[in-house]
Amino acid sequence: MIYADNAATTKLDIDAFEAMKPFLLEEYANASQPYSFSRKVKKAILEARATIAMCIGALPEEIFFTSGGTESDNWAIKGTVFQNVTAGVITSQIEHHAVMNACAAVERQGVPVVYLPVDEQGIVHQESLKKVVTDYHRIVSIMYANNEVGTIQPIRELCEIAHQHNVIFHTDAVQAVAHVPINVHDLGLDMLSASAHKFNGMKGVGFLYIRKGIEIERYSDGGMQESGMRAGTENVAGIIAMAAALKKNCDCMEAYTSHMRRLKEIILCILSENMVDFICNGAPDALPGILSISFRNADGEKLLHRLDLMGVCVSTGAACDSRNTKVSHVLEAMRVPPEYAKGTIRISLGNGNTENDAVTITNALVKILTSKSMRDKRKD
């Protein structure tokens, strides 16, 4: 099997696994307890918080552990606007559903939400934000990098515009953290969401960066974990693994980036050499591992399933229901031509993929696209 769906989830890093293992089998104490057995656990959490903060240029006390990106996004948006439900939210048309559905939820409570358009590359332009942001808005939430096409947004510039109106700026950086350099201080960010399983950590754990001084409602009531902001016994092993995986990816980022860009070049070169009719979605300087490709008059779902039968795992840029295939909201917002949009797949590469993987994936695609059954379907 060749796994090329790393934007969906990644393999747990072996060093992260070894780091967490003692906290599953031996050091299983509750960090909130006062006896000596809990001290090592409490210290490990403190060290993990400091490691994560260092990797993104934050202070340790600005890192709050969560169950993942979806919780972090929901907490950032709902925890901010519910302090003042008359204030509005600004986001973009291509956000992850964690943000889109959180915004829909606050809309149902009477909070106005503005959805900014994007251009054909999936970029939110500064002028679009300038036209709508006012002092009455409470939060702007724009993702750092898109999960479908990999486009990276001009976060620093958008953040500056929001701050000119004293509006909080949050970014869903789930796809970006550990894959591109991020310094929350340099960017001026107020909040940032991340999820461990996107950078070789465990599923079910993530964090929300909240800049010191930002007022936000607590996520849950109960004990005093996470400075009283998120009650509940910590996922200690998951936190330890997340910190180890994040540091390793940040330390190796330059090498990983170069490797994944090389794999993308191989894929695009082979497709071009075989004169396949396709377009690439997103900006040229998109995330190093994400490659969104749309094939003319093809069916993304059929491509996915045929690749699966050939031992290749990718995802599609369209969501299939019982009656038809609906183009994703991201591709619609980017105005990808319909004859291409329905034939979209996302190949998301990881540091474990090889050049041979890239060749095998592309040759499989060419074989499918040039098969008689596929040619007949495309003629129809």
Any idea which residues carry the catalytic annotation? 320
For residues 268, 274, 278, 280, the Cα torsion angle rounded to the nearest 10 degrees is: 10
Query: How many whole angstroms separate alpha carbon 181 and alpha carbon 60?
Result: 18
- Within a 10 A sphere around the Cβ of 26, how many other Cβ atoms? 9
> Shortest CA distance to 285 belongs to which of 189, 170, 145?
145
- Residue 314 tokens, joined: 């990718």
Query: How many whole angstroms separate alpha carbon 200 and alpha carbon 161?
Result: 34
Query: How many whole angstroms separate alpha carbon 21 and alpha carbon 300?
Result: 40
Query: How many whole angstroms separate alpha carbon 97 and alpha carbon 328?
Result: 11
Under 8 Å between Cβ of 271 and 291: no
Query: How many whole angstroms separate alpha carbon 240 and alpha carbon 219?
Result: 22
| Strand 206-210 versus strand 191-195 pairing type | antiparallel
> SS3 of 28, please?
coil
Under 8 Å between Cβ of 242 and 202: yes
Residue 58: what residue type?
Answer: A
Angle at 111 between CA 119 and CA 155, to 5 degrees: 35
Query: How many whole angstroms separate alpha carbon 232 and alpha carbon 79?
Result: 17
Give kind and range of the element (H or E) at residue 94.
Answer: none
| Strand 325-327 versus strand 315-316 pairing type | unpaired
- Residue 6 tokens, joined: 């790393």
198 burial (CB, 10 Å; 0-12 / 13-18 / 19+) is buried
